[in-house]
Amino acid sequence: MRIICVNNYDEMSEKAANILASQIILKPESVVGLATGSTPIGMYDHMVRAYESGKISFQRVTTFNLDEYFNLDKNNPQSYYFYMKKNLYDKVDIPNENINIPNGMVEDIERECIRYEKEIRNKGGIDIQVLGIGRNGHIGFNEPDIKFEALTHMVNLDEQTIRDNSRFFSSIEEVPTKAISMGIKTIMRAKKIVLLASGKEKAESIYEAIYGKITPTLPASVLQLHPDVVFVLDKDAAWKLDSKELDKEYL
């Protein structure tokens, strides 16, 4: 595990974009796992700039998003499909057929979850997976639980997640209570993982993820077992960590 700690949100975004861009430069046909939420927006912005300046192309990249709300039309501005189009896909040269996001509108959710897993496998697995982290330690929508859910599955969102995500909706009643998410095994099979976190409200879950017991009650703690994971943190998200272990760039 490496922990890169930078000054602020923009430096975190740039650092994460550089890691992703390097992956795409080294392997133009990379399979990239992506996250939504407020944390990676700046990273996507830097990726778009890298594309516009000719540094990277998404022509041969395949993407798999971590999750999608259940029963929210993809044209709804709060859907993760809409988010991805707005922040990345409509702004770069990725072919539509290379974009994969779970479909939360299908009748047979179980079948959709199996299809998603198969697609990932058919593409040879995920080369690099981007993650955010919930204040409750969730990754993807793997909420605190008594067991790790292995593969892509339907999730009942945690009350805290519903409250946290209500900031994107006009009222809390509009926040979907279910989602489809990659499972912990799906995430852990990625060859590399980059987790981004910014802000003091993430400091506790970051601390627990890195130093805490490995437990499904704090799903991100499982990342301690991944052979190639990097946490890119701003100093607010990192403030509880032991400074000796950080690759600090703000001193």
Q: Residue 224 interacts with ligand F6R (CB under 6 A)?
A: no
36 versus 62: smaller Cβ distance to ligand F6R: 36
For ligand F6R, which stretch binds (CB under 6 A), given 8-16, 35-43, 89-97, 185-193?
35-43
Among 7, 10, 18, 38, binds ligand F6R (CB under 6 A): 38
Alpha-carbon gap, residue 48 to 149, rounded angstroms: 33
Using DSSP, state whether 104 is helix, strand or coil: coil
Q: How far is the CB of 196 from ligand F6R (least distance, A)?
A: 8
Pick one of 67, 117, 127, 208: the residue that binds ligand F6R (CB under 6 A): 67
The contact pattern for ligand F6R, residues 113-142, with x = CB under 6 A and - = no contact, is: -------------------xxx---xxxx-
- CA atoms 120, 123, 126, 130: torsion sign: negative
Q: Residue 100 catalytic?
A: no
The distance of closest approach from Cβ of residue 41 to ligand F6R in the complex, given in angstroms and rounded to an integer, is 8
Question: Measured between alpha carbons, how far is residue 29 from residues 97, 116, 248 in Å?
Answer: 14, 19, 32
The active-site residue out of 46, 138, 153, 226 is: 138
**143 assigned to active site:** yes
Place of tokens 């990676």: 40
Question: Is residue 164 helix, strand or coil?
Answer: helix
Residues 7, 236 contacting (CB under 8 angstroms): no
Per the residue annotation, which of 67, 117, 164, 234 is the catalytic one?
A: 67
**DSSP β-bridge partners for residue 33:** 64, 129
> In this structure, which amino acid lies at residue 249?
E
Residue type, 85: K
Q: Residue 144: helix, strand or coil by DSSP? A: coil
Find the binder of ligand F6R among 13, 23, 30, 36 (CB under 6 A): 36
User: Which CB sits closer to ligand F6R, 47 or 52?
Assistant: 47
* Minimum distance, C-beta of residue 201 to ligand F6R, in the bound complex (Å): 8
Shortest Å, Cβ 251 to ligand F6R = 26
Q: Which residues contact 26 (CB under 8 A, 6 or more apart)?
A: none
Closest distance between ligand F6R and the C-beta of residue 39, in Å?
Answer: 3
Q: Which phi and psi angles does 208 have, rounded to 5°?
A: -65, -35
Active site residues: 67, 136, 138, 143
Chain residues that interact with ligand F6R, rule: CB under 6 A: 35-39, 66-67, 132-134, 138-141
